[in-house]
Amino acid sequence: MTRLEVLQDNLQKNEAALQDLRGKRDASGAYTSDAQAQIRKLNDEFESIKSEMEIELISEKRAAAYAAQEFAEAESRSKKNTSTTSTAVTYDDVFWRYMKRNGREKFSDDEMRMLETRGTSTQITTTDSLGGYLVPQEFSNQLENMMKWYGGMLGACQTYSTARGGTLEWPTGDDTAVTGNINTAANQAATRTVSDLTFGQVLFGDWLIDSNIIKVSRSLIQDESVGLLQNVLRDNLANRLGRKVNSVLTTGTGTNQPYGLTTTVTGTGITTAGATAITKSELVRLIASVDYAYANPSNPKVGFMMHQGILAYLRTLDFSTDTTHIFVPGNLATGEPDRLLGYPIFVNNDLTGPTNGLPVSATKHIYFGDFSKYVIRRIREISIERNDQQYWDALQVGFMGWLRIDGNLINANAIKPLLQT
């Protein structure tokens, strides 16, 4: 068994042990003090196993990416060695040579034209001072998948890419209250009540987000393969850009940044009875407060979004006064998410977490609904710029990645929050 399979097996044993404790109640129906202690211990073990599984999964994905890169480099070298004619130069080759270049390396006119066709100094309509080159498509795909690890918005919401920046008008509307008619001879002659579609509009801009400077030693760039530089940049860009993108898409105010989820979801689905408690029945009512068109469990974008601390709190509901199991752990190896009342859970640590393990009064901790109705607009791929001068005295080279993005809710009825009293 792989380490990940062993951890998954341990997770299942942990869940089974928690289930066995359901019968350990006293005459009043409350758990015995011994059972409560065991529950706390098993919950701590559960969080530890999940954390280790996440680390192991990231390690496996990185190892696979490294192996794929090494294979691609070996295959490229093999083709160059066995070919009797000149091999066509690809954008991928030229891009990474440019990132690894030293002051003596020369690029042909054709290679420079290839870079300039995907250069960004002329693409930006709002900020002309930031240049760079678009990253190769395979690297871009790997980077965007890794960025999803650092927050729930990129994984839960709907992303659309556009080739150019500037303002994009997006129609909004909700037609769930209007139905069609049965067309019969009797009602063909009748006067119909005509309900026109009512559209609103949101405007998408293109806010520029950068990674800040990533400093890499010249010796590493000079001595190591292209693959190592790719790995260093990919890991750091995913972390820095992923966290910042998730933050502004979650809590952005709309002033010089996107309109975030917490800003655009203004209504209240359900208000809890307790200021520092959440019950199973309130979660069920929150689901019911959303039109079924946006609560259909067959839609993978429909689910709960919350801070991981609130998720840890909700797991304790399984072992309080409720006897029905509401939390089902997922399987990281297969990509199956954790589920709450049958719906996937999108963990987003830019939402408000608990205080001392408990929900906070007058706070929206949990959001439920169809997160595809929050649209993320992205302009082309991520770009990287290299700076050789600023850190020359430290024998380092600076790299910075950046992207342009915006987000907004296009249907106000699709997502609703749970508000603490």
CATH at residue 269: 3.30.2400.10
Neighbours of 291 (CB within 10 A): 17
Angle separating helix axes 33-82 and 226-251, nearest 10 degrees: 130
Q: What band does 129 get if pLDDT is binned at 50, 70 and 90?
A: very low
Question: Is residue 75 a part of any domain in this protein?
Answer: yes
Domain that holds residue 239: 135-174+199-421
With contact defined as beta carbons under 8 Å apart, do 202 and 410 qualify? yes
pLDDT for the residue 127: 35
| Residues 15 and 143 reside in one and the same domain | no
Helix spans in 26-108 (H): 33-82, 91-100
| Residues 340 and 227 reside in one and the same domain | yes
Which of 32, 58, 79 is where one domain is finished?
A: 79
| Residues 252 and 378 reside in one and the same domain | yes
The total number of structural domains that make up the chain: 2
Query: Between residues 404 and 80, which one has the greater pLDDT?
Result: 404
Q: Quote the CA–CA distance of 124 and 134 in Å, as a whole number.
A: 12
Which of 79, 95, 121 is where one domain is finished?
A: 79
Question: Is residue 150 a part of any domain in this protein?
Answer: yes
| Residues 32 and 156 reside in one and the same domain | no
| Residues 34 and 157 reside in one and the same domain | no
Q: Quote the CA–CA distance of 269 and 266 in Å, as a whole number.
A: 10
Rg (CA), the chain: 26
Q: Which long-range contacts (CB under 8 A, 24 or more apart) does 111-118 make?
A: 114/89, 115/91, 118/91
Question: Closest Cα partner for 265 from 371, 399, 133, 132?
Answer: 371
pLDDT for the residue 109: 80
What pLDDT, in 10s, does the model give residues 335-355?
Answer: 788 999 999 999 999 999 999
- The predicted model gives 227-239 an average pLDDT of 87
Question: Is residue 100 a part of any domain in this protein?
Answer: no
| Residues 150 and 73 reside in one and the same domain | no
| Residues 165 and 289 reside in one and the same domain | yes
Return the bridge partners of 281, or none.
none
Question: Is residue 370 a part of any domain in this protein?
Answer: yes
| Residues 278 and 351 reside in one and the same domain | yes
Question: Closest Cα partner for 397 from 410, 405, 388?
Answer: 388
Question: Is residue 98 a part of any domain in this protein?
Answer: no
- By three-state DSSP, how is residue 295 classified? coil
pLDDT for the residue 273: 95
Highest mean pLDDT among 2-11, 106-115, 195-204, 291-300: 291-300
**pTM for the full predicted model:** 0.74
| Residues 291 and 145 reside in one and the same domain | yes
Question: Is residue 389 a part of any domain in this protein?
Answer: yes
Question: Is residue 104 a part of any domain in this protein?
Answer: no
| Residues 165 and 47 reside in one and the same domain | no
Q: What band does 80 get if pLDDT is binned at 50, 70 and 90?
A: low
Question: Is residue 142 a part of any domain in this protein?
Answer: yes
| Residues 205 and 280 reside in one and the same domain | yes
- Min mean pLDDT across 47-56, 126-135, 390-399 is at 126-135
Mean of per-residue pLDDT scores for the chain: 81
Q: What band does 126 get if pLDDT is binned at 50, 70 and 90?
A: very low
pLDDT exceeds 70 at position 372 = yes
| Residues 336 and 252 reside in one and the same domain | yes
Which of 57, 79, 101 is where one domain is finished?
A: 79
- Which residues neighbour 28 within 8 Å (Cβ) at sequence distance 6 or greater? none
- Which residues neighbour 169 within 8 Å (Cβ) at sequence distance 6 or greater? 201, 202, 203, 204
Of all residues in the chain, the percent with pLDDT exceeding 70 is 78
Q: Quote the CA–CA distance of 349 and 370 in Å, as a whole number.
A: 19
Question: Closest Cα partner for 402 from 380, 418, 420?
Answer: 380
What pLDDT, in 10s, does the model give residues 267-285?
Answer: 889 999 999 999 999 999 9
